[in-house]
Amino acid sequence: MRKPVQIRGAQHIMLGELRPLDRGNPTDGLFGRVYRFDHIDPELPWFNLERHQEATEDEMSAIAIPKDLVPNLVLFDFVFYPKGHVLYFVSKRDRYSLSPRSLYKLLEVLFETRLIFGRFGKVDLTIMPDRQTLARIMKLHRLAKLTIDVTRPNPDDNFDDDEEVFDRMRNQGARRVMQVMTAENGESIKPDHETAQLARVAARNGKVSAVGYKANGQKVEETTVDSPWRETVAYDPDHQLAPDVLIAFSAQHLVDAL
pLDDT score at 160: 62
C-alpha distances in angstroms, 116 versus 32, 112, 124, 173, 225?
19, 7, 12, 24, 25
Is 70 exceeded by the pLDDT of residue 161? no
Contact 101, 175 (CB under 8 A): no
Contact 75, 94 (CB under 8 A): no
What percent of the chain lies above the pLDDT cut of 90?
A: 67
Is 70 exceeded by the pLDDT of residue 157? no
Residues 6+ apart with CB under 8 A from 125: 104, 107, 108, 111
Predicted confidence (pLDDT) per residue in 62-113, tens digit = 888 888 899 999 999 999 999 888 999 999 988 999 999 999 999 999 999 9
- The C-alpha atoms of residue 144 and residue 184 are separated, in whole angstroms, by 8
Within 125-192, residue ranges assigned H as helices are 131-138, 160-171
Is 70 exceeded by the pLDDT of residue 258? no
Is 80 exceeded by the pLDDT of residue 154? no
pLDDT score at 133: 92
- The C-alpha atoms of residue 207 and residue 126 are separated, in whole angstroms, by 8
